[in-house]
Each structure stands twice: as structure tokens, then as C-alpha cells.
Chains A and B, each alone.
Chain A
């Protein structure tokens, strides 16, 4: 690993000032992705600002909104009593990600900031527009079994690997971001980006900004929900396809529904057309199948990942079926 300067602060304002005045500085939280990328030479920050001591670890329910500090660990969030009771979909998504060791260290903000990536991004001997803009995409026409089927571009077909983020998209979370200029709030779905012509940018966090917390409004989606992750082994593997599904049912009729997918796009992928179709309809297999078909509009395989075109709708139907059967 190329050496770097290391700084530490327990004050948010100081952290922001340090970052603002040094374009080559990067924040480090859990570091489970960043340290790995540094070891492989994919990234080499000249200065790391350790933010683990900032006071951003609280989880509180206030005015019907759950506020989650950005430095809360993935395991602390999954084990939180309010999350278990009010947002069990988020708990399931968190438990589906990484390993127990990684979840103990990985933070909520860090989970969001982990790189959208594939094997070509990690292999510094291969072309990758994300790692080195303009060098080409190794995955298009190469090994692309894990890759995206939605929202792809000619520059990049990598997927964002987070499970937590898929759950947060389905729960309509918001992200509170701080900088030396103050705070701003954006919808979680708008945090991550599609690759387009700028695959080097995974998200819309601007230079000098820090994620300080998430906010999730209370909902009635804690009864009929499911997070279904299909992968090559039954635990500790990235998703081939994952689906977060939540239903609000009144006498068998769907009054509210949320659907989001992981493992299929450069960002967590919300199935808005399917949601709109299902609202007001009976929770039947036939309607789930129609919704799954709608979700696949615009999907495109790249050869090795063509199986996802069939796996994805099947996973949507199964997730909705399990969600309906709960309670």
C-alpha cells in the first residue's frame, strides 16, 4: 500500500474544513472497501481523514422519522430495536450483506460510498472507464456474469453491490449531507448515479461534502415485506439479483407497495412502473407476474448475464409472494 498522511478529528466542522482545504484528502470510516482498494492500488489517496470519532452514531425516532447517524455500523443498525420493529425490511437487507465481521466495522455512510464496481475495476492491468476514464470497458464483451441489465451505458456496466441501499430506496429514505456551506437533503434514490459517460462518478456527493445521517419516514410496510437475495452461495456473496418488496394490504387489495432491485444496475433500481401497476389491485400471482413483466421493460443482457433477464422477474414474483404470505 502506498503510504499516506493520516489525520483524526472528533469534530464535524474540523473534518469538513480539513477536507475543503485539501483536494487530495479523503474521509475514511470503516474502511472495509477503501483499504481494500488501496491495497490493490486501485486508489491511492494522499491523505486520510479518520472520521470514526465524529458524533454521528445515534439512532432515534423523532416526529415519525427515524434518524440514523452516518457512522452507525451496519450490525448496530440491523440489531437496533426500532429498526427490527418498524423497518424489518431494512434489517433483512442489512443481514444479507457482507459478513458479520465486515458489518461490525462498515458504516451506513461507508456502505453508500463503497464503489460501484466489477472485477475489471479491481484489476489494474485491465481497461476500466471507471478506474481510468477513457481506457475502455473490459466487461462489455468480456466476463460479465455479475453485471447490469438496466440503465447501462457504453462506458460501464458495473453494479452497485449494496443490499442496505436497495432496502433504503424501497423505504424512501433521505440523505442529509453537510459541507462547510451548511446542510442539504436529497432523496436516497437520487444519491447514486447511472454510469452514463461519467462512470468514474458513483454518486452525487460533491467534493467537500460529508453524509451525516439518513432519515426514514415511518410507514406501514413492516408486516408484509421480504428481501430476497439470489446469489452463487447461500451467504456472503454479492447478489446476482436481489429484490426488496413491501406491501400494505387491505382486504387483499394492495394500498401501498414498494419494490427495488439490487445486482442489476449501477445504482439501486426502483421498480416504479411495477409499483404503479400494483396499487389498488388484488395481491394475486397473476398481478405479481404482470408487475414483474413491466419491471423488465428496457432490460438488456450482455451475454454471460442474459440469465438475469429471466432470474430478475422470477425473483420479483417470489419476493412479492413471500411478502404477501407473511403477517
Chain B
């Protein structure tokens, strides 16, 4: 088990700003409000500062964390676990850049509250390669030039793997339909479809 707070040798600028603003908010909040037990409204206000325990696995590594309820799985991965391979595109479930696997199924991590993933196993783009050996889908994207700027690529790759596992990669047409939740503004779609189709046709377990 790893305590994520112990993982950091030093705070990033982003962490520093977050912590100082939280301390400011706390210092401005009268102690009576934070401790209030009788008044329902005050009780709620105090609870807003509460973090909720969260146990999950990310890329087979167990984590014991505490998060605010409003933190999305995407923000947890990027800002607390520093797994920045998963990208924030639209942040509203429309582009697919944030696609990860939760218990093997592809989801938009931007629309998933982290606390709702208690006990689940998350796989991100960082969890695909075995050491220096790329995952077959990663290798196929390079071979077929399945990207230009690369920003949507982690989401495309996670989604492409799931597309094959779900059994929805039997033709170019079907791949396009079942990859429609992943937008590529550079327009690398034909090469993305080629990459997925090749991995599917090679038939390896992925």
C-alpha cells in the first residue's frame, strides 16, 4: 500500500497553490462553524471540508487515498497521482481524451467522481507497456501514424483496446462507429482505424 502523500519529494506549484488557498479558506472560517453540531447548515458547511477515504488500484498498484467528493477520476489521476498521460480535453464527456479502463471497461474519467470508484481497478495509458516493450496497440499507432499532435492519442489507444475486447472491431465501419466517442482534431481517423484493425486481425490477446 502506498500513501500518495509520501510519494512526493516536493510540491508542484499547482499543489502549493491548492494547499495555500485551502488554508486561507480554513483560516477565514470561524472554528465555531467547523465544529458546530447542532445547526444543520453549519454541520454541512463543516463537512464540506471533509475528504473521503478511497481505496483503488491504478495500473495494478494499490492506493489508499483521501479525496473531496467533487474530485473527478481524471483530476485524481492527473493532479494527485501525477499520471498525466490521461488527457483533459473538453472535460465534459464529449471528446474521449480522458478515456481510461475501469474494471476493464472504457469510461470517460472526466465524468466519473473519484469516490464512486471505491475498490475498482483503473488502467491508464501508463499501465499498458511492459517495461520498454510497447503494448501492441501503442506499436500499431506508431506504425500507422495514428496521430499528429498526439493529445487525443492516450484516449484513442485506451478506447481502441476496449473496442477490440468488446468485439466491435470487425470492420472499418464498425470500428468507426464504436470509436466515435474519441475525437481527433488533427483528423488522423483513417490511420487510427488502420491501427485498430491491424491489432484486431493479428488476433493477439490484448
- Using a CB–CB cutoff of 8 Å, the interface residues on chain A facing chain B are 1-6, 8, 28, 31-32, 35-36, 38-40, 46, 48, 50, 52, 75, 98-102, 104-105, 234-236
Contact = CB atoms under 8 A, between A and B. Distances in A.
A256 B112 CA distance: 42
Contacts of B105: 75, 104
B176 A235 contact: yes
A32 B70 contact: no
B181 A102 contact: yes
Contacts of A98: 181
A106 to B, nearest CB: 9
Interface stretch (B11-19, B121-129, B159-167, B196-204): B159-167
Interface in B63-79: 68-70, 72
Nearest to A5: B47
Contacts of A8: 115, 118
B86 to A, nearest CB: 13
B142 to A, nearest CB: 24
A32 B168 contact: no
B167 to A, nearest CB: 9
B44 A104 contact: no
17 contacts: A1-B70, A3-B70, A4-B69, A5-B48, A31-B111, A31-B113, A32-B111, A48-B69, A50-B115, A100-B178, A100-B180, A101-B93, A101-B108, A102-B111, A105-B107, A236-B180, A236-B181
B177 interface: yes
Given A46-B44, A104-B107, A35 B113 contact: yes
Contacts of B106: 100-101, 104
Contacts of B168: 100
B68 A3 contact: yes
Interface of B: 44, 47-48, 52, 68-70, 72, 91-93, 96, 99, 105-108, 111-113, 115-116, 118, 159, 162-163, 166, 168, 176-182
B104 to A, nearest CB: 10
Looking at A2, A32, A40, which has the most chain B CB atoms within 10 Å of its CB? Answer: A32
A6 B69 contact: yes
Given A3-B48, A36-B92, A101 B116 contact: no
A75 B178 CA distance: 12
Given A2-B70, A31-B112, 19 more contacts: A5-B44, A5-B47, A5-B48, A8-B118, A32-B111, A35-B72, A35-B111, A36-B92, A36-B111, A48-B113, A50-B115, A52-B116, A75-B105, A98-B181, A99-B182, A100-B179, A101-B107, A104-B105, A235-B177
A77 to B, nearest CB: 14
A130 B181 CA distance: 28
B162 A100 contact: yes
Contacts of A46: 44
A3 B162 CA distance: 32
Contacts of B179: 100
A13 B96 CA distance: 36
A36 B47 CA distance: 23
B69 A102 contact: no
B111 A99 contact: no
A117 to B, nearest CB: 13
Contacts of A102: 93, 108, 111, 181
A141 to B, nearest CB: 27
3 nearest A-B residue pairs (beta carbon): A99-B181, A235-B180, A6-B69
Contact of B116 (A5, A28, A100): A28
Looking at B70, B118, B162, which has the most chain A CB atoms within 10 Å of its CB? Answer: B70
